[in-house]
Amino acid sequence: MIKKINHIGIAVNSIEEAVKLYTDVLGLKLKGVEVVADQKVKTAIIPVGESKIELLESTDPDGVIAKYIERRGEGIHHLALEVSNLQDALDTLAKQGVALIDEKPRNGVEDTKIAFLHPKGTKLLIELVEPGE
Ligand code: ZN
């Protein structure tokens, strides 16, 4: 069901500041910055081999990323695992009693479909990603 680690999401106060470590220091390339308005978040995608680092900056003091940083500070926010069929994966997990935040896929960055599992069972926020066409 799981194909690979698609990306690791890191909550930061400022993408402009945080991206310097990955580009200037670690020598990776910034692929793009995208605002997801309904999630009140700005993302920066930095490919690392077959996976990516996703920097997340809140666009609103009430956004989930702002709230997360307020509680736990900047750092790893979620682990994103890639699946080939997201709805099938969600149905399979629900049948096994895994608590889901999203029972239906929603739209993510780069034309992906995404859904989050509930962290109460997994101890870590896990995102499932189905790549775009
Ligand atoms: Zn993500």
Residue 71 has a pLDDT of 94
How far, in Å, is the centroid of ligand 1 from the Cα of 104?
Answer: 16
How far, in Å, is the centroid of ligand 1 from the Cα of 97?
Answer: 23
Residue 114 has a pLDDT of 96
Model confidence at 53: pLDDT above 80: yes
96/13 Cα distance (integer angstroms):
36
How far, in Å, is the centroid of ligand 1 from the Cα of 98?
Answer: 19
pLDDT-derived band at 119, boundaries 50, 70, 90: confident
Q: How many domains does the chain have?
A: 1
Weakest mean pLDDT among 5-9, 71-75, 110-114 = 110-114
How far, in Å, is the centroid of ligand 1 from the Cα of 20?
Answer: 20
Residue 79 has a pLDDT of 97
How far, in Å, is the centroid of ligand 1 from the Cα of 7?
Answer: 6
Percent residues over pLDDT 90 in the chain: 86
How far, in Å, is the centroid of ligand 1 from the Cα of 56?
Answer: 8
Residue 38 has a pLDDT of 83
How far, in Å, is the centroid of ligand 1 from the Cα of 9?
Answer: 5
The residue length of the chain stands at 133
Read off the pLDDT of residues 5-28 as tens digits, 9 standing for 90 and up.
Answer: 999 999 999 999 999 999 999 999
How far, in Å, is the centroid of ligand 1 from the Cα of 86?
Answer: 14
* Domain span at 94: 2-130
- Specify the CATH number for the domain of residue 85: 3.10.180.10
In this structure, the strands spanning 75-83 and 2-11 are: antiparallel
Host H or E run for residue 58: strand 51-58
105/130 Cα distance (integer angstroms):
9
Percent residues over pLDDT 70 in the chain: 100
Read off the pLDDT of residues 74-108 as tens digits, 9 standing for 90 and up.
Answer: 999 999 999 999 999 999 999 999 999 999 999 88
State the average pLDDT over residues 29-44. Answer: 93
**What's the whole-number average pLDDT of the chain?**
95
How far, in Å, is the centroid of ligand 1 from the Cα of 96?
Answer: 23
